[in-house]
Structure formats: structure tokens, C-alpha cells
Amino acid sequence: MSEEKTEEKIPAGNFIRQIIDEDLAQGKFTSIRTRFPPEPNGYLHIGHAKSICLNFGLARDYGGLCNLRFDDTNPAKEDTEYVDSIMEDVRWLGFTWDGEPHYSSDYFDKLYGYAVELIRQGLAYVDELSPDEIREYRGTLTSPGRNSPYRDRAPEENLALFAKMRDGGFQEGKACLRAKIDMASSFICMRDPVLYRIKFQSHHRTGDRWCIYPMYDFTHCISDALEGITHSVCTLEFQDNRRLYDWVLEHISLNSPDRPHQYEFSRLNLEYCLTSKRKLKLLVDQGYVDGWDDPRMATISGMRRRGFTPAALRDFCSRVGVTRQENVVEMSVLENCVRDDLNSNAPRAMAVLHPLRLVIDNYPEDREEMLSAPNHPQKEEMGTREIPFCREILIDQADFRETANKQYKRLTLDRLVRLRYGYVIQADSCEKDAEGNVICVHCTYYPETLGAEMPDGRKVKGVIHWVSARHGVPAVVNLYDRLFLVPNPGAAEDFLSTINPDSLTVAGNAVLEPSLREAPLGVTWQFEREGYFCRDVRHAGDPVMVFNRTITLKDSFGKTEAGKSPA
């Protein structure tokens, strides 16, 4: 079931597992089959990650199978680009599906046949009310609906009109096929729901063969039955629609005692994120973000490009669990999952994002040496690397002040500090430009302090990172923060007004240690004392390397200026 080891178990206490345990114990099913049924009208987001982990995880844990099925019944919004991205996301999360991907369009002929069955039974009719009229006739939550004047047509007339719809004899919006159920039902979804609508739109798989397309509620249950799905798991907004799911299967010839059943769980709502494809698409189309895979987006591809790991997302989905209670998950839960995984597994390196030149005046100009550093402080098996050291190095601008209080543990004039994996130095003087900005610091180093304390007993309380000015690799580093300023941007009257203007700042003059020169794509590194960073796949061939900040070392959202390291 998996292309990599995915050991995270769906929490044992969740109600869906309890249902499956009971079904298997009673012999209702001998094995289970689930499905993940995305609509290919956009890229998948964090909410889909929860559904992927649930459906594929259940199949894995019970030794069953999981189908990937594309709900491609709305050709106006669908594209093969989205199909490809969805398959990539599922694989990246560590799962694979049984056999070839399935498509709702695989069943268009059968779906049409089942619609004809309902018409012949007098359970479906062609309605010529306009979409606005249908909404008006449907009624409200407090008042029943009214029957359409076309509701009592004879089956023979409806069959002829449905064939006319199929053959292009009606304009869009001039006719549709509706189920004949109960216009007074307390469930609006049962008030003669639309089963087929007209769309003169070429389909990405069937071309122009069809001009009528089935609705999701009609397609979904039949597709589940055709594929032998045992447990059809979806989110709570489809809870009322379960009645229509069952009604369709009960009234077509596909009905059987072991037909599938639908179960609903709460969708994933995450702070500071949007999970509406419509709104995400608006952000992309209007240029507020750099595509569906912008690292600030809550899409799986965006998180992958940012440097999140599949293991972190699987861990997150496991932690939030599966319930029927709607809630909002704090962003810190996801971020802590990412930090936990990267802290354990990310190799270390040094990078200076805002360089300041530092000259060690008593170090020979023509001398170079290699200093050894571990690739991970707790994992010897990850080995070591060699870092070149010379007279001129670069430190971060935030790591030097002419004067500072005792809480400042970095470099100041006449105070000792250790260079990471290197010597103890002392700042003696600094140079400034015409505006008074420090542009160079002159220091003295103590040769006997490599791997040792000061021989005179003086204490060194600060450690700063650095890169050789002679050997460093230039880079551009994108510093990403949360895209929105408020926890629930979707609830705002104008969600665009809640966009964080500092969600992206660019460190255009960053310098990396030479070990990162051949940094592979898809690997996230810890830039020591700065955070976690991943090489940007979009700029793999650029002459200057581009890295994206995955996440800071600790949560600093709203506490520090975007792009600046906390003191």
C-alpha cells in the first residue's frame, strides 16, 4: 500500500475504526476497500492530506485496498494538470492506490443507463424550470418546496426528453434531469435533486462525446458501488446527502446487500489558512501568490516546495485525529510536527542571510584551514563535513553591536565570542559607511581556542555562525511567513484584506557554506541558528542558488519583524 514506510497509525479510538472492526467481526465484509475521490479542479490542500492519510491509512492498517478516483463530472473546471498534481501529492505523502486510477468518466455510459432506469420507474423527470426557478421552488429550511409543473410527465415523455438532452437538443440551463423524491422533505437535498445538467464543454478524457454530465451526488454512490467500496468516508458537509446516497442505490439495479455505506468525519480547519479551492484559485489567478505551489499556500505542493516532509504531514494528520466534532486546529500543531521531524532528521549547515564582513587582523592573509563539523549534533551516523576558514569571514548583521547589555550574547566591542566550530574571537573596532552603518568589523582571534577554552580562564558566553568570505556560495533566500494575519481569513468579508504584507521577504545577498553548493532538491537543511531551509525546485537551474525558509527554529509569528532573526 505504500511507496515508503508509513508507520503512523490512525488513532485506535476513532469511530470509523470501531465501525470497521464491528463490520469485520460480524462478517459483513471479509476485507475493506476505501477510496480517495478528489475533483481535478485545483491542487490538493492540507484538508485533503487528512483525507488521504485516513483513507489510505485505513486500507493499510486493515490489509485492504484503496482506490484513487477522480470525480471528473464538471469539465468546465477540470484539467489534466490537476490530475497529475493530485497523483504526485498522493505518492509524495507515501501512498499508492490499487491498480490504475479510476475516473467518474469511466462510468458515464453506466450512469446514463441507471438514470434511464429511474425514469422508467417514474422516479426521475426532465425539468424545464430555470436554475433560479428551481431554487425558488425548492423552498427554505422553514418552508417546504413546491412541485415543478413538469414533475408529472409520463416516463415515456421523460425518456424522450432525456435523450434529447443527451443529443444536444436543449440549450444549457433550459433542462435538467431531477430525481422525484419529496419536495416537502425536511432535508433540502431530498427535494427532487438535480441528477444531470447540460454543459457544452469538452471533457479532458471523453472529449465532445457528452453534453450532459451527472451531478456528484448521483455519481459518487454509484461509482463506490461499481468499485466495491465498503466504507465511503467523507466530510461532515455531506452528512445530509447520505440520504440521497442511500436512496439512489436502493432504487437502481446495482443494489445489493453488501452495498457501500457513507460515513462522515469533521474536515480539517487550520488557523491562518484557506482550504477553499475557489479562494485558493483566486489567489493564484490574480497574482497574490506564485502559483498553486507557492510555499505560503496550504496546498500539499506548496508545503512540499517549502520543505515540509511527508512524515511531518502524516504525523500532523495522526495528531489531529478523526472525530465528528468541528474544530479549528492551531497552526502551531502543524509547525511543531514539522520542527520535530526536521530537528531529528535535517542535516546541518551554516548560512549568513544578511552578511557583515569580519576581518581577523592577526590571522595570516595567505592561510586557509579546514574545520570539522558534524552534519547532525545527535547523529554520528550522519558523518561530518569540512568547512574552510580564512582571514576574512562573513557573519550576520544581527550578530554584532558596538555596545549591548548583558542579555546580548553575540559579538560586541571588547567582548569574547566563539565562532561556531572554530576559534574564540574578540572585536576590536569597526568601519562605517557615510550613513553610519557598520560595514566591517576588525577582530583578534586566539589560536589556542580551537576546540578549547580560553587559556586565561575568561568565559565565552556567546556563539555565532559564519561563512568564509573567500569560499562562500552566494544565494537568494526567500523568508516565508504566514500568508494571512488573522486566524480565520475565510470568515472575513474580504479575505484579501487579511493577507500578510510581510509573508515574503527576500534575503538577496545570502552566503552559504561550500557544502551546500551541490545541495539536492527535496532535502531540507537546518541553517544553524536561522531555521530550516529547502532548495527551491522552481529555480534548480538558476546560476545563483535559491532556498526557501521552511520554518523558523521556534514560533516567532507576530513577535519579530518578518525576515529578522529573533534576538
Residue 162 grid cell: 432525456
Question: Which residues, 6 or more positions from 413, have their beta carbon under 8 angstroms from its beta carbon?
Answer: 402, 403, 427, 428, 429, 430
What's the structural domain count of the chain?
Answer: 4
Which residues are registered as beta bridge partners of 443? 360, 427
**Active-site residue, 39 included:** yes
Structure letter (DSSP) for residue 486: S
Q: How far apart are CA 219 and CA 122, in angstroms?
A: 19
Q: Which of 394, 384, 298, 312 is nearest to 348 (CA)?
A: 384
CB 94 within 8 A of CB 66: no
Note whether 283 and 364 are same-domain residues.
no
Q: Dihedral angle at the C-alpha atoms of 434, 436, 439, 440, nearest 10 degrees?
A: 110
DSSP letters, 39-61, are: -SSS--BHHHHHHHHHHHHHHHH
Does residue 224 share a domain with residue 330?
Answer: yes
Residue pair 295/286 in contact (Cβ under 8 Å)? The answer is no
Q: Residue 61: its pLDDT value, please?
A: 95
Check 28, 39, 151, 402 and give the catalytic one.
39
CATH code at 503? 2.40.240.10
Same domain, 274 and 197: no
**pLDDT value at residue 495:** 96
Instruction: Identify whether 1 is part of a domain.
Output: no
Say how far apart CA 197 and CA 214 lie, in whole Å: 7
CATH number of the domain within which 288 lies: 3.40.50.620
Q: Determine the structural domain holding residue 388 and report its residue range.
A: 355-468
DSSP secondary structure of 398-421: GGEESS--TT--SEEBT-EEEETT
Per-residue HEC secondary structure of 321-338 comes to CCCCCCCEECHHHHHHHH
- Cβ-in-10-Å burial (0-12, 13-18, 19+) of 505 comes to middle
| Choice among 28, 77, 151, 267 that is catalytic | 267
Q: Which amino acid is at 82?
A: Y
| 513 φ, ψ (degrees, to nearest 5) | -65, 150
In a domain, 346, yes or no: no
- Enumerate residues 6+ apart whose C-beta is below 8 A from 193: 178, 179, 181, 215, 217, 218, 244
Name the nearest CA neighbour of 150 among 174, 132, 125: 125
* Last residue of one domain, picked from the residues 169, 184, 216: 216
Co-location of 235 and 194 in the same domain: no
446 & 491 share domain: no
Identify the domain boundary among 422, 440, 468.
468
Q: How confident is the model at residue 190, as a pLDDT?
A: 98
Bridge partners, residue 546, by sequence: 476
Q: Are residues 237 and 322 in the same domain?
A: yes
As a whole number of angstroms, the distance between CA 510 and CA 520 comes to 18
Q: Three-class SS string for 238-289?
A: HCCCHHHHHHHHHCCCCCCCCCCEEEEECCCEECCCCCCHHHHHHHHHCCCC
Is 176 contained in some domain? Answer: yes
Give me 198's grid cell.
Answer: 447540460
| Catalytic residue chosen out of the listed positions 153, 180, 277, 306 | 277
Is 331 within 8 Å of 482 (Cβ atoms)?
yes
- Residue 156 belongs to domain with CATH number: 3.90.800.10
Is residue 211 a contact partner of residue 192, using CB atoms and an 8 Å limit?
no
Q: With respect to residue 430, please indicate whether it lies within any of the assigned structural domains.
A: yes
In eight-state DSSP terms, residue 436 is: S
* Ordered alpha helix ranges (H), 126-271: 131-138, 155-166, 216-226, 242-250
Q: What share of the chain is helix, strand, coil (3-state, %, to 5)?
A: 30, 25, 45
Whether residue 139 lies inside any domain: the answer is yes
Among residues 345, 319, 333, 309, which one has the least CA distance to residue 94?
A: 309
> Are residue 454 and residue 369 in the same domain, yes or no?
yes
In sequence order, the 6+-apart residues with CB closer than 8 A to the CB of 87 are 68, 101
- Say yes or no: 536 and 514 in one domain: yes
One pLDDT digit (tens) per residue for the chain, 567 residues: 334 444 454 445 689 999 999 999 999 999 999 999 999 999 999 999 999 999 999 999 999 999 999 999 999 999 999 999 999 999 999 999 999 999 999 999 999 999 999 999 999 999 999 999 999 999 999 999 999 999 999 999 999 999 999 999 999 999 999 999 999 999 999 999 999 999 999 999 999 999 999 999 999 999 999 999 999 999 999 999 999 999 999 999 987 767 899 999 999 999 999 999 999 999 999 999 999 999 999 999 999 999 999 999 999 999 999 999 888 999 999 999 999 999 999 999 999 999 999 999 999 999 999 999 999 999 999 999 999 999 999 999 999 999 999 889 999 998 899 999 999 999 999 999 999 999 999 999 999 999 999 999 999 989 999 999 999 999 999 999 999 999 999 999 999 999 999 999 999 999 999 999 999 998 999 999 999 999 999 998 899 999 999 999 987 655 544 444 333
Which three three-digit cell numbers place residue 469?
568570505
267 is catalytic: yes
Residue 372 and residue 343 in contact, taking contact as beta carbons nearer than 8 Å: no
Q: Is 380 a catalytic residue?
A: no
Residues 73 and 222 in one domain: yes
**Domain end position, chosen among 434, 468, 502:** 468
Contact 38, 71 (CB under 8 A): yes
Domain membership of residue 513 (yes or no) is: yes
Please provide the distance, in angstroms rounded to a whole number, between the alpha carbons at the two ends of the chain: 46
Coil, helix or strand for 69? strand
Sole residue written with cell 431530498: 190
Whether residues 291 and 439 fall in one domain: no
Whole-number pLDDT of residue 522: 87
C-alpha cell at 164: 434529447
- Please give the pLDDT value at position 13: 63
Pure H helices in 307-367: 310-320, 331-345
Does 350 reside within a domain?
no
- The Cβ-side half-sphere exposure at 130, using a 13 Å CA radius, reads 2
Helix H or strand E encompassing 24: helix 15-25
> Could you tell me if 177 and 164 lie in one domain?
yes
503 and 407 in a common domain: no
Residue 230 domain-assigned? yes
Distance CA 38, CA 33 (A): 17
